[in-house]
Amino acid sequence: MKGLPLDALIDAAASACGIRRRDLEPGDRIVVSTRNSVYCLTARADGRFDVSGGWFEREGGGETTVEVLGCTAGGHALFSGHIAAPGLFIEFPDGLRTTRIRSVRRIAVNKA
């Protein structure tokens, strides 16, 4: 996506399948499989996520609460409305980025 005009990036963001921030309820879980890891993200009421797996298990000491900035296609354009989408990378604060996402699954909170 490097070098694409702004209109093309907007179209790409709109057509990307995956999980969008606006579609989540507190308690919803997202299981993300990347090239190197599996992450589990649980949506919180404050807009942040409890995240475990992947880098957070190997280097971060386990589950932690973080913001998700959005997704990128590997360049500098940030799709802030997306939490995870196949083919993209999740961007966390402090420059942490997952490897390329292979699959995403949403597990909706049980509202019984």
The number of domains in the chain is: 1
Residue 68 inside a domain? The answer is: yes
| pLDDT score recorded for residue 65 | 95
pLDDT single digits (tens) 42-67: 999 999 999 999 999 988 788 899 99
Residue 1 in any domain: the answer is no
pLDDT computed for residue 101 by the predictor: 94
Average pLDDT, the chain: 86
Residue 59 inside a domain? The answer is: yes
Q: Does residue 112 form part of some domain? A: no
pTM: 0.81
Identify the pLDDT of residue 64.
92
Q: Is 48 exposed, middle or buried (0-12, 13-18, 19+ CB in 10 A)?
A: middle
pLDDT at residue 41 in the model = 97
Domain region containing 53:
6-107
The whole-number pLDDT of residue 1 equals 44
Q: Write the CA distances from 15 to 8, 18, 22, 45, integer angstroms.
A: 11, 9, 15, 27
